[in-house]
């Protein structure tokens, strides 16, 4: 409501909330509040709500954003200007991430560091590269392009609707722009351990092409960092003497830790969180395996009281086809 420099209309979609969301939204003059109907089978709750919010809009631009995001003053006008200057049909920002609990501080940098590696903005923004990504917490689309690809209705059976919509835009030769949203938008994704565990369970195995391989690599990385020093201490205690290879063995562990920190820093979390991220590695491995079991073996996850089937990440063959169709 405090945005300036641009005309806009806010629509809040109340999707069976059980708190004071609707009353708070209705307390602001000029905010349109609607209720989402219960989604039909095969349609995710979020896509159903987004379709309801977009229905009937005649605006040139549509911004889809989550209720737990904070938008910096002037960010809306800046975003639209950036999209128009760059010729983007879909502009998405990855919000600044806030962390509260100790587990958040340990896990979130690890997750986002691998997201940056998997979806580098320079590749997403390259029309000739098949890599596509978007963050549903801030998704600005040109309405004509959005309607031309079928909107969220076209990806309505996907829990990972933001990435799927970006892939659809790119397949249809519409231009993507994706980057970190520093100074634009921020959010705290999860406010307790249960929500964080449930949220990443539904997403992780879909976000990464080879979740089991990634789990193996991150587990090996953790063992390499902590294993060498622990092994050396065990040998020292056993022999009660200092061993000659101590500098080499401990040095190897330190080298792996330095390489780990260099990778984690790309996720743009505070330095203290980066240091704690070492202990997030085993959590990340556990969540990857849990997500794989739910999405690839059981084929469904529970999210906010609803049960959803899940679609695997496109195979390398599908990515090859995407590349062939891109401009």
Burial 184-196 (b: 16+ CB within 10 A, else e): bbbbbbbeeeeeb
Residue 326: pLDDT over 50: no
130 domain-assigned? yes
Indicate whether 159 and 294 sit together in one domain. no
Q: Do residues 117 and 231 both lie within one domain?
A: no
**pLDDT for residue 175 is more than 50:** yes
Length of the chain: 327
Q: Which residues contact 161 (CB under 8 A, 6 or more apart)?
A: 44, 46, 47, 50, 136, 152, 155
The pLDDT value recorded for residue 239 is 63
At 248 the pLDDT is 67
Q: Which pairing describes strands 11-14 and 32-35: parallel, antiparallel, or unpaired?
A: parallel
Q: Is residue 200 one of the residues assigned to a domain? A: no
Mean pLDDT of the region 272-296: 94
pLDDT at 75 over 50: yes
Cα–Cα dist 72/295, whole Å? 36
Q: pLDDT value at position 191?
A: 87
Residue 23 pLDDT class (50, 70, 90 cuts): very high
CA distance 182 to 312: 31
Which of 59-68, 135-144, 316-325 shows the lowest mean pLDDT across its residues? Answer: 316-325
In the predicted structure, residue 29 carries a pLDDT above the cut 50? yes
Based on the fold, state whether residues 264 and 124 are members of the same structural domain: no
Per-residue confidence (pLDDT) for residue 281, from 0 to 100: 97
What total number of domains does the chain contain?
2
> Chain-wide mean pLDDT for the chain?
88
**185 and 40 share one domain:** yes
Please count the helices (runs of H) and the strands (runs of E) in the chain. 13, 11
Lowest mean pLDDT across 24-38, 117-131, 225-239: 225-239
Average pLDDT over residues 220-228: 87
Cβ atoms 51, 171 nearer than 8 A: no
Q: Are residues 288 and 252 in the same domain?
A: yes
Residue 242 belongs to some domain of the structure: yes
Reported confidence tier of residue 323, pLDDT bands at 50, 70, 90: very low
Residues 169 and 219 in one domain: no
**What is the band of 282 on the pLDDT scale with cuts at 50, 70, 90?**
very high
pLDDT value for 319: 39
Q: Is residue 67 domain-shared with residue 158, that is, in the same domain?
A: yes
Q: How many CB atoms lie within 10 A of CB 57?
A: 14
* Residues 177 and 39 occupy one common structural domain: yes
164 with 52, same domain: the answer is: yes
Cα–Cα separations (whole angstroms), residue 119 to 2, 51, 93, 179, 220: 32, 26, 13, 10, 22
Do 93 and 170 lie in one domain? The reply is yes
Q: Each residue of 83-100: pLDDT tens digit?
A: 999 999 999 999 999 999
Q: Is the pLDDT confidence value at 116 over 90?
A: yes
> Which position has the higher pLDDT, 131 or 320?
131
On whether residue 177 sits in a domain, the answer given is yes
pLDDT of amino acid 76: 98
As a whole number of angstroms, the distance between CA 209 and CA 214 comes to 9
Positive or negative CA dihedral for 73, 99, 180, 255? Answer: positive
Q: Which residue has the higher pLDDT, 38 or 87?
A: 87
* Dihedral pair phi/psi, residue 204, rounded to 5°: -60, -50
Do 171 and 218 lie in one domain? The reply is no
Decide which of 129 and 19 is more confident. Answer: 129
Please state, for a pLDDT cut of 70, what percent of the chain lies above it: 84
pLDDT of 254 = 85
Structural domain of 225? 211-313
Percent of the chain residues topping a pLDDT of 90? 67
Q: Tell me the three state secondary structure of residue 195.
A: helix
Q: What is the pLDDT of residue 302?
A: 67
CATH code of the domain containing 85: 3.90.550.10
233 and 181, same structural domain? no
Q: Tell whether 4 is covered by a domain.
A: no
| Segment 267-270 long-range contacts (CB within 8 Å, at least 24 positions apart) | 267/108, 267/109, 267/110, 267/112, 267/113, 267/115, 267/116, 268/96, 268/112, 268/180, 268/182, 269/97, 269/99, 269/105, 269/108, 269/109, 269/112
The pLDDT confidence band at residue 327, using thresholds 50, 70 and 90, is very low
Q: Does any domain span residue 226?
A: yes
Q: Answer for the pair 151, 54: CB distance below 8 angstroms, yes or no.
A: yes
- Retrieve residue 139's tokens: 């998704």
Q: How far apart (Å, rounded) are the C-alpha atoms in residues 327 and 130?
A: 10
Place 226 in a pLDDT band, splitting at 50, 70 and 90.
confident
The edge-to-edge listing of strands for the beta sheet with 69-71 is 69-71, 185-187, 96-97
pLDDT in tens, 228-281: 667 666 666 666 555 455 566 677 778 899 999 999 999 999 999 999 999 999
Task: Produce one character per residue of 241-267: b if its CB has 16 or more CB atoms within 10 Å, e if not.
Answer: eeeeeeeebeebbeebbeebbebbebb
């Amino acid at each position: 409501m405090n945005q300036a420099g641009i005309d806009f209309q806010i629509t809040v979609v109340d999707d069976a909330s059980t708190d004071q969301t609707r009353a708070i939204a209705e307390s602001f003059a000029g905010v349109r509040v609607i209720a989402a109907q219960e989604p039909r089978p095969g349609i995710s709750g979020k896509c159903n709500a987004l379709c309801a919010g977009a229905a009937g809009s005649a605006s040139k631009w549509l911004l889809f954003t989550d209720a737990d995001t904070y938008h910096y003053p002037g960010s809306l006008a800046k975003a639209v200007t950036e999209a128009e200057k760059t010729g983007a049909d879909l502009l998405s920002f990855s919000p600044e991430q806030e962390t509260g609990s100790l587990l958040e501080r340990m896990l979130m940098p690890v997750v986002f560091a691998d997201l940056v590696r998997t979806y580098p903005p320079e590749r997403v923004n390259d029309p000739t590269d098949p890599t596509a990504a978007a963050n549903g917490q801030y998704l600005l689309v040109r309405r004509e392009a959005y309607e031309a690809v079928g909107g969220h209705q076209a990806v309505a059976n996907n829990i990972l609707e933001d990435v799927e919509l970006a892939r659809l835009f790119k397949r249809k030769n519409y231009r993507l722009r994706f980057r970190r949203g520093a100074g634009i938008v921020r959010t705290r994704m999860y406010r307790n351990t249960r929500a964080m565990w449930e949220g990443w369970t539904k997403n992780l195995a879909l976000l990464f092409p080879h979740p089991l391989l990634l789990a193996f690599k991150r587990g090996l990385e953790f063992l390499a960092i902590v294993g060498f020093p622990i092994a050396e201490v065990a040998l020292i205690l056993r022999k009660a003497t200092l061993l000659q290879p101590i500098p080499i063995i401990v040095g190897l562990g330190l080298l792996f830790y330095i390489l780990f920190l260099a990778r984690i820093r790309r996720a743009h979390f505070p330095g203290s969180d980066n240091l704690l991220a070492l202990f997030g590695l085993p959590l990340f491995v556990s969540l990857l395996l849990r997500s794989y079991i739910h999405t690839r073996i059981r084929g469904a996850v529970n999210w906010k009281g609803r049960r959803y089937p899940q679609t695997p990440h496109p195979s390398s063959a599908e990515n090859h086809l995407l590349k062939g169709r891109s401009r």
